[in-house]
């Protein structure tokens, strides 16, 4: 069975596992107050060229988004997001559970733009409406599209103009950086806060939250604890992030995944299989006849994105740090035969 279902199907990259095993017997203070977390946070600040950032390590993505937004917003403040944003469709109402509305904007490629933001803020905002206060983006997006550095900067400008905080969910930040022209410091420059995703890029689990805006920093650990988001053996997060961030592994894992996705996408396009959106990172969304989709299930694990019409379905292939070149070859061969 070929595995293109997602980028969190395997455990950790061997280097991460080794770091965990190597430190396993150590006795450290709990809750992220250990030296591994301190060092990993220092590394993050250094990569971001942002010595004043607060860096926190949490276990999962929904947890991180939820805790951050609950900590950053007053009760009546709302979030603005592309309708396809992870917080809109795959987090079971986690943001709303903490009391905040999400305004969902139509964005066919999954990306917010200054124009979309301005349109969303053009209507009346008063004490009878929710007050949009934070723009949520993810890079890469749910559709695998990628914000460039220029796009980030223009969003930053629009947010400042509109009185919005800018928050970037970086569950796949490695993939975004490997695919585009941004590095860690671009996010620190553009965002009030952003995350560096580990779960989907070689860690067993873990998201680093970087809070750049000093006004959003106080009390965050209290919020983490209250949300059940503070890992007792917090060093497990520091150890893992240190392992991937210290020497560039984080980016090289993402580059590997992106490269395979690129090869896959190019071959698909050559075969005349249309893609829902251009494949820019490690996700590819081919549109196939329903029969082909059914046939493919025999040999490949993947997810269905959506029905296109009565006869065609858009599915999703995800490549990961552990995907082998040979798997892509095998998948392409299967697809070629399906077509015939």
Residues 93-112 that bind its own copies (CB under 8 A): 93-94, 96-102, 104
If one asks whether residue 61 binds its own copies (CB under 8 A), the answer comes out as yes
Nearer to its own copies, 147 or 250 (CB): 250
For residues 234 and 37, the answer to whether their CB atoms sit within 8 Å is yes
Query: How would you label 123-155 residue by residue, b for 16+ Cβ within 10 Å and e otherwise?
Result: eebeeeeeebbbbbbbbbbbbbbbbebebbebb
Residue ranges in 166-195 that form contacts with its own copies under rule CB under 8 A: none
Of 51, 75, 272, 310, which lies in the binding site for its own copies, with binding defined by CB under 8 A? 75
- Strands of the chain, DSSP E: 2-3, 54-58, 77-82, 102-105, 131-138, 165-169, 193-197, 207-211, 283-284, 287-289, 300-301, 303-307, 312-318
Q: Compute the distance between CA of residue 322 and CA of residue 46 in angstroms, rounded to an integer.
A: 28
Residue 262 is a binding residue for its own copies (CB under 8 A): no
Among 39, 60, 154, 289, binds its own copies (CB under 8 A): 60
* Under rule CB under 8 A, residue 12 binds its own copies: yes
Asked if 131 touches its own copies (CB under 8 A), the answer is: yes
The DSSP output letter for 3 is E
> One symbol per residue from 211 to 240: x for binding its own copies (CB under 8 A), - otherwise; what is it?
--------x-xxxxxxxxxxxxx--x----
What is the crossing angle of helices 14-22 and 235-245, to 10°? 140
Q: Is 311 in the site for its own copies (CB under 8 A)?
A: no
Tokens 């293109």 map to which residue? 4
Nearer Cβ to its own copies (111/322): 322
Residue of 15, 20, 277, 332 that binds its own copies (CB under 8 A): 20
Supply the minimum distance, in Å, between the C-beta of residue 97 and its own copies. Answer: 5
Q: Which of 184, 194, 205, 250 binds its own copies (CB under 8 A)?
A: 205
- In Å, how far are 92, 136, 152, 154, 225 from 115, measured between CA atoms? 28, 15, 13, 10, 37
Least separation in angstroms between residue 26's CB and its own copies is 7
Q: Is residue 28 involved in binding its own copies (CB under 8 A)? A: yes
């Amino acid at each position: 069975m070929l595995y293109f279902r997602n980028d969190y199907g395997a455990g950790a990259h061997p280097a991460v596992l080794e770091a965990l095993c190597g430190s396993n017997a150590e006795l450290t203070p709990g809750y992220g107050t250990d030296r591994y977390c301190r060092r990993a946070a220092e590394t993050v600040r250094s990569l971001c060229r942002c010595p004043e950032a607060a860096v926190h390590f949490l276990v999962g993505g929904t947890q991180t988004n939820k805790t951050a937004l609950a900590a950053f917003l007053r009760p009546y403040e709302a979030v603005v997001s592309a309708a396809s944003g992870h917080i809109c469709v795959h987090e079971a109402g986690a943001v709303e559970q903490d009391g905040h509305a999400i305004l969902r904007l139509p964005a066919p490629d999954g990306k917010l733009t200054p124009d979309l933001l301005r349109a969303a803020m053009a209507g009346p905002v008063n004490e009878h409406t929710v007050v949009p206060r934070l723009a949520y983006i993810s890079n890469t997006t749910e559709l695998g599209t990628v914000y460039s550095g220029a796009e980030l900067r223009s969003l930053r400008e629009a947010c400042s103009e509109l009185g919005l905080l800018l928050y970037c969910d970086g569950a796949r930040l490695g993939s975004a950086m490997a695919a585009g022209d941004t590095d860690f410091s671009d996010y620190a420059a553009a965002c009030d806060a952003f995350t560096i995703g580990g779960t989907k890029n070689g860690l067993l689990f873990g998201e680093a939250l970087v809070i750049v805006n000093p006004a959003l920093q106080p009390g965050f650990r209290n919020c983490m604890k209250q949300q059940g988001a503070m890992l007792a053996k917090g060093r497990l997060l520091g150890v893992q992030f240190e392992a991937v961030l210290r020497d560039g592994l984080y980016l090289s894992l993402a580059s590997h995944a992106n490269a395979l996705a690129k090869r896959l996408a190019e071959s698909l396009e050559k075969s005349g299989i249309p893609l829902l959106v251009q494949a820019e990172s490690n996700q590819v969304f081919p549109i196939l006849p329903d029969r082909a989709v059914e046939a493919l299930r025999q040999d490949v694990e993947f997810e269905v994105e959506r029905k296109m019409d009565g006869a065609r379905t858009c599915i999703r292939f995800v490549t990961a740090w552990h995907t082998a070149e040979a798997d892509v070859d095998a998948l392409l061969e299967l697809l070629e035969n399906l077509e015939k």
